[in-house]
């Protein structure tokens, strides 16, 4: 069974446990969310953490592993819009977007619409562009944590903006299983789920031990690991599910999602 892990700092505890305590018959893959989205969609993975937007776009193909997500109530600190001007002055401007997360890209579009801001153009961001030529740049993950630019003094944390509008956490990623393999690998999926939940439940205790390992693995990451993880949550609470439905409804009303989605969970 092929399993995908997000290769960002925020998901390293789960990947680390998979490497340190391997489960028989599991082949591990570690990539950015956008690549995991594509690999799972193509059937190159059986189980993976993927963008919430990817699940909503192809919910007929996947079932959700219960009790697991990547979410943040308030500041997440790694999904950021960097701008040369205040948000309201971005009307009819261009924004450069990270291509690594569909959830965050569409979250930004929702937030801009909520603020009655119409964007002239969305462009793919590459580190090769001259940052001072970009009016605004949205980055996620480790790139957002590391980005520094005196040309962009206005920084908007998109999870915080969502929370201010709707008083809900923003769910960035879910763990899902391709429907056609759910029964085929049921025992292995159960063991994987138990391992993932175990990492989540013990994270607050183990983080002190993991912090130097994370710092060593992500040598160029300029962040306090303990402080950063204090902004993250890996449960899938009722308010998270409510938030996913709200996010989906907003995108459906914007004609970005073609169908309304009913979340479907794997049962053990």
pLDDT tens-digit series, residues 78-107: 899 999 999 999 999 889 888 787 899 999
Using alpha carbons only, what angle is made at residue 33 by residues 180 and 164, rounded to the nearest 5 degrees? 110
Write down the mean pLDDT value for the chain.
92
Q: What residue numbers bound the domain in which 109 lies?
A: 79-166
d(CA 55, CA 134): 31
The model's pLDDT over 151-197, given as tens digits with 9 standing for 90+, comes to 899 999 999 999 999 999 999 999 999 999 999 999 999 999 999 99
Q: Which of 50-54, 115-119, 123-127, 147-151 has the lowest mean pLDDT?
A: 123-127
Domain boundary among 138, 166, 194: 166
Q: Looking at residue 127, what is its pLDDT?
A: 58
The reported pLDDT for the residue numbered 123 is 83
CATH number at residue 197: 3.40.190.10
36 contacts 57 by C-beta, under 8 angstroms = no
Q: What is the tens place of the pLDDT at every residue in 187-226?
A: 999 999 999 999 999 998 999 999 999 999 888 888 899 9
Task: Examine residue 133 and state whether it is found in any structural domain, yes or no.
Answer: yes
pLDDT of res. 99:
79
Q: Answer yes or no: do 190 and 161 share one domain.
A: no
Question: 35 and 98: one domain?
Answer: no
Same domain for 178 and 237: yes
Cα-based distances in Å from 182 to 197, 233, 241, 267: 18, 26, 21, 10
Q: Who contacts 255 (Cβ-Cβ below 8 Å, separation ≥6)?
A: none
Are 52 and 90 in the same domain?
no
How many domains in the chain?
2
Q: Is residue 176 part of a domain?
A: yes
Query: In the listed set 149, 166, 183, which residue is the last one of a domain according to the structure?
Result: 166
């Amino acid at each position: 069974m092929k399993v995908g892990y997000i290769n960002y700092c925020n998901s390293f505890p789960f990947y680390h446990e998979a490497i340190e305590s391997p489960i028989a018959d599991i082949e591990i893959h570690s990539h950015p969310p956008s690549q995991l989205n594509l690999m799972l969609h193509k059937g190159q993975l059986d189980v993976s953490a993927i963008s919430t937007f990817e699940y909503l776009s192809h919910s007929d193909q996947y079932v959700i592993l219960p009790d697991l997500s990547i979410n943040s109530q308030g500041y997440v600190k790694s999904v950021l819009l960097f701008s040369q001007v205040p948000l309201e002055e971005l009307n009819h401007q261009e924004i450069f977007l990270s291509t690594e997360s569909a959830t965050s890209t569409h979250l930004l579009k929702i937030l801009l619409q909520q603020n009655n801001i119409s964007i002239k153009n969305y462009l793919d961001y590459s580190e090769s562009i001259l940052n001072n030529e970009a009016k605004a740049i949205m980055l996620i993950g480790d790139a957002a944590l590391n980005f520094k630019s005196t040309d962009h003094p206005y920084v908007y944390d998109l999870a915080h903006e969502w929370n201010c509008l709707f008083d809900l956490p923003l769910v960035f990623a879910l763990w899902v299983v391709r429907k056609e393999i759910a029964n085929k690998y049921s025992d292995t999926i159960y063991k994987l789920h138990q391992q993932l939940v175990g990492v989540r439940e013990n994270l607050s205790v183990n983080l002190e031990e993991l912090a130097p390992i994370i710092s060593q693995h992500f040598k160029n990451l300029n962040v306090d690991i303990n402080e950063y993880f204090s902004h993250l949550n890996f449960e899938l609470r009722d308010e998270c599910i409510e938030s996913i439905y709200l996010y989906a409804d907003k995108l459906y009303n914007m004609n970005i999602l073609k169908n309304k989605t009913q979340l479907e969970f794997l049962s053990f």
